[in-house]
Amino acid sequence: MTGLVAALGAALAIALLVPPRHRIPSTDSGPLVDTPSDAGWLIRHRLLWSVLAGAGASTFIGGRVGLVGALVVAVVAWTFIGRAEPADVRRRREQVRHDLPAVVTLVAAALRSGAAPGDAVTLVARALPGHAADRLATVSSRLRLGADPAMVWSDLAADAELAPLGRTMARAHATGAPVVVAIERLAEDLARSARGAVEDRARAVGVKAAVPLGLCLLPAFVLIGIVPLVAGLMTTLAW
């Protein structure tokens, strides 16, 4: 038992002192670089939560069966936490979605001025900083190297955040439809959706603010309105 406690203590110390590192590609498609993960408290202390889950299962079940159950629960917790989305990945995804209407609007403006689709994407990737521009830089690089445009746009359509732009470009390239009109229509749709999302968030603020406001006013209402009334009734009944 002493050895088990020592092992658990060592595991907790390692989990707290050694942050995990993830290999992420650089923006210029260079070699993979090891960087500390900003995955949040859940993944950062993944070993800690797995050990605690296993210890809890062992304590709850007890006996030799508890040791087997602890191992199973620890493995399940490790796997489940590992599949959780890191906080930095979530922030990048939200930023790309936030920048997509502006990106598509700029691409439409470049196309309207007479630029080719590949050149328009290159101009936008250079002019607009952010994660969306970084992803578009890869697209422009592939187009400059002579890759098949249909394959490039299809790959962009597989991107979860930039899929609307990729699908529109791929459809226009496959059907021969005017790409300027399609991109301008997409820009309008994305701008409309962005305005709707902002309005929904603004309406949600009032609803979310009502809960803490009610929690603050309810005790005062009870103390000022209900308690004196009940005290008065109690006094009347006592007489």
Domains and CATH numbers, the chain: 2-84 (no CATH), 90-194 (1.20.81)
Q: What is the pTM of this model?
A: 0.54
Q: Residues 128-166: pLDDT tens digits?
A: 777 888 888 888 888 888 888 888 888 888 887 888 888
Q: Residues 20-59: pLDDT tens digits?
A: 444 444 444 333 333 444 445 666 777 777 787 777 777 7
Q: Residues 155-211: pLDDT tens digits?
A: 888 887 888 888 888 888 888 878 888 888 888 888 888 888 888 888 887 777 777
- Per-residue pLDDT band for 86 (boundaries 50, 70, 90) equals low
Mean pLDDT of 212-231: 79
Q: What is the DSSP string of the chain?
A: -HHHHHHHHHHHHHHHHS--EEEEE-TTS--EEEEE---HHHHHTHHHHHHHHHHHHHHHH-HHHHHHHHHHHHHHHHHHHHTSPPHHHHHHHHHHHHHHHHHHHHHHHHHHTT--HHHHHHHHHHHS-SHHHHHHHHHHHHHHTT--HHHHHHHHHTSTTTHHHHHHHHHHHHH---HHHHHHHHHHHHHHHHHHHHHHHHHHHHHHHHHHHHHHHHHHHIIIIIHHHHHHHHHHHH-
**pLDDT at residue 2, as a whole number:** 41
